[in-house]
């Protein structure tokens, strides 16, 4: 049942991944789910840059490490190493991008929200496939266009790290109930 998948989905981080590959077919299934996200005026703003092969993930890791060193005033070797490890610990990294509607037929926040809903669909599908995932939005995302081509009006909102995992995920908790967040009229 979808409500159980929603309640049991968790962030699973690259350090937790077990080095098992994710097939191209599994990635395609995840992306197909993303493509069914709600979208106002059918702008379908989500775009994805896939780093799947070891070579592509290594290229991403090196780029992120190099960029970190260039943009941070006093870079930490430890932090740079962690930045470079994440893509290599992952079986796939997806740059989550948004293509702004050139007509600006909807407010930009609606296109960001639609892209976030696409990512939620990806996350739920990945979880159902027993693939862990985690969305990270480091400042480095604003430089990824130097590594891969972007269209006019396209920008990166973060990285979706994915990998298979062995451990059991913790049970979810919420600080407050939905009743505390709801006003009925």
Q: Is 40 one of the annotated binding-site residues?
A: yes
- CA nearest 137: which of 154, 160, 155? 160
| Whether 65 contacts 80, CB under 8 Å | yes
Q: Report the SS3 class of residue 31.
A: helix
Listing DSSP states for 101-165 in one string gives -TT--S-HHHHHHHHHHHHHHHHHHHHHTTEEEEEE--GGGGGGGGTS---TTEEEEEEEEEEEB
Q: Is 10 one of the annotated binding-site residues?
A: yes
28: Cβ contacts below 8 Å, ≥ 6 apart: none
Q: Is 136 one of the annotated binding-site residues?
A: yes
Name the DSSP letter for residue 171. P
Q: List phi, psi (to 5°) of 6.
A: -60, -45
| Whether 34 contacts 122, CB under 8 Å | yes
Q: Is 135 one of the annotated binding-site residues?
A: yes
User: Which parts are annotated binding residues for FMN?
Assistant: 9-11, 40, 135-137
Q: Which residues are annotated as a binding site?
A: 9-11, 40, 135-137
């Amino acid at each position: 049942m979808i409500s159980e998948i929603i309640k049991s989905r968790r962030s699973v981080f690259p350090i937790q991944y077990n080095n098992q590959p994710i097939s191209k077919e599994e990635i395609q299934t995840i992306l197909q789910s993303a493509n069914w996200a709600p979208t106002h005026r059918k702008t379908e703003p989500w775009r994805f840059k896939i780093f799947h092969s070891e070579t592509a993930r290594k290229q991403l890791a090196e780029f992120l490490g190099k960029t970190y060193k260039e943009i941070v005033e006093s870079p930490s070797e430890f932090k740079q190493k962690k930045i470079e490890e994440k893509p290599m610990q992952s079986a796939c990294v997806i740059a989550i991008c948004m293509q702004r509607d050139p007509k600006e037929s909807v407010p930009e926040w609606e296109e960001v929200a639609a892209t976030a809903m696409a990512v939620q669909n990806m996350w739920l599908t990945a979880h159902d496939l027993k693939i862990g995932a985690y969305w990270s939005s480091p400042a480095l995302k604003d430089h990824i266009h130097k590594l891969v081509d972007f269209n006019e009006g396209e920008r990166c909102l973060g990285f979706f790290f994915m990998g298979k995992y062995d451990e059991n995920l913790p049970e979810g908790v919420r600080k407050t109930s939905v009743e505390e967040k709801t006003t009925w009229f």
